[in-house]
Amino acid sequence: KLSIEVPKRNLLFINFESDRLSNDLNLSSLRDIYDDFKFKSDPGYPLYLFFDEIQNIPGWEKFVRTVYDSQDDDIYVTGSNSQLLSSEFSTVIGGRVLEYQLQPFTFIEFLDFHGYGQLDLYSINEQKTELTRLFETYLESGGFCETFILSDQQKEIYRQSLIDKIVLKDIIGRYRIQKPDIIQNLFLYIARNPGSIVSAAKLSSIMGIDDKTVSLFLSYLNNVFLLRKVDKYQWKTRNIFRSQRKYYLSDNLFTHLCLEFRRLENFIYTHLIEKYGASSVFFLKNEKGQEVDFVVTYGRHYYCYQICADLNNENEKREVRSFLNLMKYRSPEEIKKDKYYLLYLKDSRSVKDIPQGIEVKQIMEFVLTSYQKCNHRQS
C-alpha cells in the first residue's frame, strides 16, 4: 500500500544481515547510502527508511538520531535481542521512539489465515469439527506464522533452531555466559513445567546453582521474550508478591515438552495477556494452598479463571472451592461485577451443579466468543 501512495524511490529498506552487503560496512558508508538515496528521491513526497538488524553497524544510533533531528523522514528500526534489547532502543536514540512489539499470531489470527475470519455464534457451531482440528493444531504448534505451512518434522526443526538462536545467540552471546548448559537446562525445566509456582530458591536447589544466578538467568529468558513471568496476587490484602512466580512460555510452539493441561494453561495465559495486557494478569494462592490459575485485575473488578483438561466432579469441587474462598473477600456488589470462569477441554462430569456466578465453558468456544466482545487491553 505504501509503495502505491509513495514513489518507490522514496522507500529505503536495508537488511544489515544480508550477505550482499560488504562485511566492512560502517557508519560512513551508511551515510553515503542515505545521501545517494535522498538525492534520487522525489522531493514532493516524504522518505521512509526501514532498517533491519541495524545494530550490526557500530554507532548506528548517531546516524538515526541525526537524520531524525534534521530531516522529516519516517524511520523504522528493528533489531535482534542479541545485540540490542527493545527496552534499550529508547535510551540509545535519546527517547525519540515509539515501540511496537510484533507478537506471534493469536488463535483468531491463525483461524483467519486458514480462511475462518469473522466467526459468529452460528458459524462456530456449523464449523465446529474443522475449528476443533485447527485449535488442536494451534495448541501444539502455536502462532509463529512460519510454521503454518510446515510438516510436523519441519516444525520440530524450526522450533529447535529458534530456541538455539534465542538461547545460544541472543542470550549466551550477548551476556557472555560461561556455562551455557545451565541456562539451557533452566529453560528446559520451565518448558516442561509452565505454570508451576517457583521461587529462585527452589530453582537454585534443582539446578545446583545459587539463587542470584537463577534470578539473573530468568531475567535474560524473560528479556528476549522466551518466557513470561506472572506474579502472585494476595486476595486478602490485594498486594503483589514477587518471591513466588509462575513462568509461561511466550508461545505454544515451545510447549512440546509439557503435559496437556499445562499446554492449555499456557494457551489461556497468552490469550489473556493479548486481551488485557501482561501487567494485569496474576495468579492467586492462599495459605491453605487453594489456587486460582489466573486473575485479571480490570479496574476494581476481578476476572478469574480455572483451567482443566478433563473436568470431572472431583476436580470441579476443588476449583469451585477456590472461587468461593476468594468471594469471601469480595463485597456482594463486587461479586456481581466480577467474572468467574471454569474452563475445560473435555467435560466428564456425571452431575453438573455449579454455584451461581460461576460460568463453565469449553476452552475453544470461550476464546472464540470472547473475541466477539470489546477488547479491553490496557498495556
List pLDDT tens digits, range 199-256: 999 999 999 999 999 999 999 999 888 999 999 987 666 667 777 899 999 999 999 9
How many angstroms separate the CA atoms of 145 and 105, rounded?
7
Least reliable range by pLDDT among 30-39, 86-95, 111-120, 264-273: 86-95
AA identity, residue 133: R
pTM equals 0.87
pLDDT in tens, 293-333: 999 998 888 999 999 999 999 999 999 999 999 998 899 99
- What is the average pLDDT across 53-59? 84
At the topology level, CATH places domain 259-379 in: Restriction Endonuclease (3.40.91)
Are 96 and 74 within 8 A, CB to CB? no
How many angstroms separate the CA atoms of 310 and 345, rounded?
6
pLDDT score at 377: 44
Least reliable range by pLDDT among 171-180, 235-244, 327-336, 362-371: 235-244
How many angstroms separate the CA atoms of 30 and 48, rounded?
15
pLDDT in tens, 134-168: 999 999 999 999 999 999 999 999 999 999 988 87
- Distance between first and last Cα of the chain: 28
Whether the per-residue pLDDT at 88 is higher than 70: the answer is no
Percent of the chain with pLDDT over 90: 64
Q: pLDDT higher for 33 or 97?
A: 33
With bands split at pLDDT 50, 70 and 90, how would you rate the model's confidence at 21? confident
Are 357 and 324 within 8 A, CB to CB? no
Parallel, antiparallel, or unpaired: how do β-strands 281-285 and 227-233 relate? parallel
**Closest residue by Cα to residue 191 from 276, 263, 131:** 263
Whether the per-residue pLDDT at 64 is higher than 70: the answer is yes
DSSP 215-251: HHHHHHHHHTTSEEEEEEE-TTT--EEEEEEEEEESS
Cα dist from 8 to 38, 54, 74, 201, 297, whole Å: 12, 21, 14, 57, 47
Residue extents of the structural domains in the chain: 2-92, 259-379
Q: Residues 284, 141, 363, 309: is their CA dihedral positive or negative?
A: negative
Q: Directed axis angle between helix 60-70 and helix 27-40, to 10°?
A: 30
With bands split at pLDDT 50, 70 and 90, how would you rate the model's confidence at 23? confident
Whether the per-residue pLDDT at 51 is higher than 70: the answer is yes
Q: pLDDT higher for 167 or 10?
A: 10
pLDDT score at 376: 44
When the pLDDT of each residue in the chain is averaged and rounded to a whole number, the result is 89
* Helices and strands (DSSP H and E) totals, the chain: 16, 11
Q: pLDDT higher for 81 or 250?
A: 250
